[in-house]
Structure 1
């Protein structure tokens, strides 16, 4: 295996993923090209055809991102086709399991070499996402029980639902505080927290006032 073979293999994987997904969606190369243009990064039909036919030796990162959006797939699956093979040549001459290759790109590698500041930041963002999801869930559950209480005609049923509302409100308050604390911790580490969903936009307002 020469160093020039490996880039060709990477390009071929992207081309295979493009062709398979395009055919799955029933799209023509022109359909894909038109959709790329709509997104603001034109990729001519001829380029798509040459890529799929192996006549194009390379593919750019910007092209992968645009094609992934058009095809409705995560960009990483165009580079590392999970479920198609047990291993993959992630770098020239370096064969690893398919999942280890994905984990390396997404920052989920357990190798000591990846225990770097960038890994810490990735983990902070993952935890933030979990906390947001949990807070949204407790909020939604409280709203559902509040609606059920409003619709209940039987006083005992209403009282039971209202008790559940109070419990979910307590849980939600706890979840929100955990989210506040985590965002404060991120800022202490000089990491800018991600934008919050509209339901929790008020937290950003209170943070900016501090």
Structure 2
């Protein structure tokens, strides 16, 4: 494959993903066009048709993002279709496993050269996401047991549920503290933490007050 062939191959993968997903959803090219316009970035029906037919040799990043949203798929899967081939030409003349291609784009590459400050920031955000999920889980479990305690008619059952609530509240408090500490660590490194779910918005207020 020549260097000039590679960009057209990338576009072809996006076009194939567009066509397959559009048909899977039962959408016409006009439906896709209308949905793109509703998102605020119109993509004419002729562009959709030319992409799918191969008459259009390129697709820009904005188009890729909007099309992925309309089709309800992660943008990365339109570039690197996992499960369709063992390897892919990620760059001109560079064939790698399909998963390594995805990992390169998402910053999860195992390559030593990819261990950069940017990857460190990505890892911090991943850890933040895990801590938020853990705190959300302990919160939801506590609320569930609290509801069960309120509905329990037997005093012994109610007492057991309340004991579980107390333990889950302690766990949740630890989870929240871990999240606070991690966000503080991010700020120390001059990394702006992501917005929190509404349930934990009070943490952002306390951070601002500090």
Query: Using the alignment, how far apart are the partners of 1:205 and 1:27 within structure 2?
Result: 44
Query: Using the alignment, how far apart are the partners of 2:34 and 2:208 within structure 1?
Result: 42
With normalisation by structure 2, the TM-score equals 1.00
Query: Using the alignment, how far apart are the partners of 2:149 and 2:2 within structure 1?
Result: 69
Query: Using the alignment, how far apart are the partners of 1:209 and 1:34 within structure 2?
Result: 45
Query: Using the alignment, how far apart are the partners of 2:173 and 2:196 within structure 1?
Result: 16
Query: Using the alignment, how far apart are the partners of 1:104 and 1:2 within structure 2?
Result: 22
What do the CA deviations read for 1:14-47 (whole angstroms, capped 9, x no partner)?
0000000000000000000010000000000000
Query: Using the alignment, how far apart are the partners of 1:181 and 1:97 within structure 2?
Result: 37
Quote the offset at 1:151 in angstroms: 0.5
Query: Using the alignment, how far apart are the partners of 1:42 and 1:204 within structure 2?
Result: 36
Query: Using the alignment, how far apart are the partners of 1:171 and 1:110 within structure 2?
Result: 34
Query: Using the alignment, how far apart are the partners of 1:87 and 1:9 within structure 2?
Result: 14
Q: What's the counterpart of residue 174 of structure 2?
A: 174
Q: What's the counterpart of residue 18 of structure 2?
A: 18
2:150 maps to 1:150? yes
Unaligned runs of 5+ residues in structure 1 are none
With normalisation by structure 1, the TM-score equals 1.00
What do the CA deviations read for 1:123-164 (whole angstroms, capped 9, x no partner)?
000000000000000000000000000000000000000000
Q: What's the counterpart of residue 73 of structure 2?
A: 73
Query: Using the alignment, how far apart are the partners of 1:150 and 1:5 within structure 2?
Result: 66
2:171 maps to 1:185? no
Unaligned runs of 5+ residues in structure 2 are none
Quote the offset at 1:110 in angstroms: 1.0
* Mapping 1:93-108, distance limit 5 Å: 93-108=93-108
What do the CA deviations read for 1:67-120 (whole angstroms, capped 9, x no partner)?
000000000000000000000000000000000000000000011100000000
- Runs (4 or more) in structure 1 with deviation over 2 Å come to none
Q: What's the counterpart of residue 113 of structure 2?
A: 113
Q: How many corresponding residue pairs?
A: 210
Q: What's the counterpart of residue 201 of structure 1?
A: 201
Query: Using the alignment, how far apart are the partners of 1:46 and 1:94 within structure 2?
Result: 33
Q: CA RMSD in A?
A: 0.4
SS class of match (2:195): coil
Query: Using the alignment, how far apart are the partners of 2:90 and 2:126 within structure 1?
Result: 24
Q: What's the counterpart of residue 44 of structure 2?
A: 44
SS class of match (2:96): strand
Query: Using the alignment, how far apart are the partners of 1:159 and 1:40 within structure 2?
Result: 55
Query: Using the alignment, how far apart are the partners of 1:164 and 1:57 within structure 2?
Result: 60
* Mapping 1:74-93, distance limit 5 Å: 74-93=74-93
SS class of match (1:108): coil
